[in-house]
Amino acid sequence: MTPVEGLAYDKAMTFQVQILGVGDYFTEIHNYSSFVVNADGRFTLVDCPDGLPRIIKEMNRVADIGVRPEKINHIILTHLHGDHSNGLEGIAYYKKFLQGGKKPVVYSIREVLKDLWSGKLKSAMKNLYSGPSERIGTLPVRELLKECEGVKLEDYLSVIPLEFNKTNRVNNLEVEVRSVKHHVPTFGFKAKYGGKALGYSSDTFFDPRLIDFLKDCDMIVHECDFQKTSPHRGIHTDYHELLRLPESIKQKIFLIHYPDTANQRDSELKLLQQSQVYDIR
């Protein structure tokens, strides 16, 4: 679970994460919290911030393990807060217009999926012109809009529900999910590959039962708002609660979704660093 330095590495038998962003919703210096899981060259994006192509390009300047927007076809969506989901519209258009209509697969729990279209994407995406461009100039605006109507979620994305109390297949990962304590329906998960496991808390208030669920993972990505140093208190995890965990668990925890005021010098727990790659071992 050490950061991998530099650009060159062995891509065979790989299970690792690369960090797109580490910030909370109020960050001025980071990207929003998101990461890519690389399991032997197959990528699974965890949450989908806006501006994904730019973020990926910037990330690759620091460490390039082959992540490209074209290779992001599987997305785990933990909840619908904008910092975790606002990039779905962009990646769907990217696939549709730049990758020949390819549809990314979005994996989430049913409580999230039921609102994904009607409560999130529909207002901007329900209209799409697909006729010849020569006609656009001849159409009055009202008629043009009429012709654009009728597009559905399935025209952009495939969605696969993640079930509780079973092992779900996500790309080439085996994933178990658990509801967490947040403002809106949200889940944490364990993703297994090649005998190793990655755990992710997603956004949550500190929950000992979630820790119990994640404790057998080899690497645990946990959100943390540091509370006492954060001006933005909400349903998030207090750093001091994590500090009270057994040493064996603390060693495996890597913090994400932290405020701009957090820094490694003042933290006993490890802070994930944007663009860096971490092997899960």
Q: List residues near Zn ion by CB under 5 A.
A: 81, 203
Q: In what order do the strands lie in the sheet with 105-108?
A: 3-4, 277-279, 15-21, 34-39, 42-46, 74-76, 105-108, 158-161
**Rounded Cα gap, residues 173 and 42, in angstroms:** 9
Question: Least separation, in Å, of the C-beta of 266 and Zn ion?
Answer: 24
Q: Which is nearer to Zn ion, 66 or 119 (CB)?
A: 119
**Tokens standing for residue 158:** 């495939």
Q: Which is nearer to Zn ion, 45 or 280 (CB)?
A: 45
Tell me if 105 sits within 8 A of 160, measured CB to CB: yes
Place of tokens 């409580």: 111
Tell me if 236 sits within 8 A of 255, measured CB to CB: no
Question: Least separation, in Å, of the C-beta of 239 and Zn ion?
Answer: 17
Q: Give the Cβ contact number of residue 176 at 10 Å.
A: 20
Q: Which is nearer to Zn ion, 119 or 194 (CB)?
A: 119
Question: Least separation, in Å, of the C-beta of 87 and Zn ion?
Answer: 14
**Rounded Cα gap, residues 239 and 274, in angstroms:** 19
Q: Which is nearer to Zn ion, 26 or 164 (CB)?
A: 26
Question: Least separation, in Å, of the C-beta of 26 and Zn ion?
Answer: 12
Measure CA 23 to chain center.
Answer: 12
Q: Which is nearer to Zn ion, 73 or 201 (CB)?
A: 201
Question: Least separation, in Å, of the C-beta of 107 and Zn ion?
Answer: 18
Q: Which is nearer to Zn ion, 23 or 69 (CB)?
A: 23
Question: Least separation, in Å, of the C-beta of 78 and Zn ion?
Answer: 8
Tell me the three state secondary structure of residue 223: strand
Q: In what order do the strands lie in the sheet with 253-256?
A: 168-170, 173-179, 187-193, 196-200, 219-223, 253-256, 270-271
